[in-house]
Structure formats: C-alpha cells, structure tokens
Structure 1
Amino acid sequence: MIQIFGTNKSFDTKSAQRFFKERRIAFQFVDLKEKEMSEGEFDSVASALARTEGSRAEAIEAMIDTKSKDYASIAYLDDSEKEEKLFENQAKLLKQPICRNGKTDATVGMAQKTWEGWK
C-alpha cells in the first residue's frame, strides 16, 4: 500500500492525494503534525531514496525542505547530524510529500512520473 507523509497545509501533499484518488489507487495519508514517521519508516524512505540519489547523505539532503523557515537550523550541520535533526523535526523540515510504495520505493516532493508506475 502507498503511504503519503505530509501535512494538511501542504499544497503538494494535497496534489499527491488527488493524483492517487483520481487513479483509484489506495493510499494511507499520515499527517506529520499528528504522527511522525517511525524510525523504521524513516530508514526505509532514506534507503529507498539512496538507491536513486546515489548515497544516504544525498538522500537525506533530498528530504530536507530548503524553503522551510526552519531550514537554517539544519543547513550547516554535518551529514551525520542532519539525519538526526531531520528525524526529530519531521513536520518542520521534511520536503513534502514523501510517498512510499512498500519498503523499496519512495519519492520526495511531486514525482508523478514515478507514481504512474505504482499500483
């Protein structure tokens, strides 16, 4: 099943939900303001992204919302510290939506071309 992680205020998260609804693809929406990703979910998203981004550090970088007002709190940290800070502040720092298809596929932001291959 597809999971969409985001917040109700995020325009892109709403667009992702609409994308899957229009195609009658079942999904579960997880509001990051109410319930953040578990450590296992976060790890599987980072690992799935690392396969397409090249490395785990690049995957973590791709997950960070550079337009967030809290971006300065993470921008200058070492790579090892960024992952921990991102996990602790998901609703404020994650680029949305994060869509996960099982444990092997994940996207950050709007990725309709990738989603079209998901069932």
Structure 2
Amino acid sequence: MNIQIFGTKKCNDTKKAQRFFKERGIKFQFVDMNEKGMSKGELSSVAAVNGGLSEMVNPNAKDQDAVNLFKYIADEDKLEKLLENQHIIKTPIVRNGKLSTIGYQPDVWKKWE
C-alpha cells in the first residue's frame, strides 16, 4: 500500500485518519494542504474516482464566498478554481494508488488492507 493523506494539521478528521493507519502499522505520507496543495493531476484523479469536483467541496468551509463562487462558475473553470482555493476541499483525502476517498471513511480503508 502506498497511502497519502492530504489534509491540515488542525482538521480532526485528518487526525483520525492518521491514527487509523498508525494503529494498523501502515506507513503513510502526510501532505499538509496549508503548505503544499494537491497538483492538478492528483486533484483530477481524486475527482474522477469520487464523483467529480463538486463532491470534493466542503459546503461548510469557512470561505463561503469561494464555496458559492465554485457552485455557479462554468464546469470547465471548476478545476482551476478548486486548485486556487484548496482550502474549501473536504479533508482528509486519502489516496492509495488509483483508489481514493474524501472525508473520514475507515470502512473503505479497511477493504484496502
């Protein structure tokens, strides 16, 4: 398994995801999205597996202006807008090769083991 966890240090669900993998002795790479965001390719592949870019947006994000703008811009502009505003993405994003999840989903991760 090649686990990557994208999230922030303050996000409780990200902390729970890290704990989930630590308790099972599974090594993972943590990427702090406040320091280094996702690349265009990573964002596209996660969106493709999880139902599209709109599924990645946290409707309860602090920056409601960015969330609302994302809802109403043209579909072809959404990838660029999400790359610019990664702070509105639901976290954690957990990747295992081509597989990925958005949010805290231990039931899915158990199937990866």
Q: Tell me if 1:74 matches 2:65.
A: no
With normalisation by structure 2, the TM-score equals 0.88
Match of 1:39 in 2: 40
* SS of corresponding position for 1:29: strand
Match of 2:91 in 1: 96
Q: Tell me if 1:64 matches 2:65.
A: no
Q: Tell me if 1:26 matches 2:46.
A: no
Question: Deviation at 1:69?
Answer: 2.1
Identity %: 50
**1-structure distance, mates of 2:37, 2:25:** 26
Q: Which segments of 5 or more consecutive residues in structure 1 lack a partner in the other structure?
A: 54-58
Question: Deviation at 1:77?
Answer: 1.8
Question: Deviation at 1:9?
Answer: 0.9
* SS of corresponding position for 2:101: strand
**2-structure distance, mates of 1:40, 1:10:** 24
Q: Which segments of 5 or more consecutive residues in structure 2 lack a partner in the other structure?
A: none
**2-structure distance, mates of 1:2, 1:48:** 16
Question: Deviation at 1:98?
Answer: 0.5
Q: Is the 8 A contact 2:94 2:102 kept in 1?
A: yes
Q: Tell me if 1:108 matches 2:89.
A: no
Letter in 1 for 2:85: N
* SS of corresponding position for 2:46: helix
The aligned length equals 109
With normalisation by structure 1, the TM-score equals 0.84
**2-structure distance, mates of 1:74, 1:62:** 12
**1-structure distance, mates of 2:41, 2:68:** 26
**RMSD value, Cα:** 1.3
**1-structure distance, mates of 2:72, 2:62:** 14
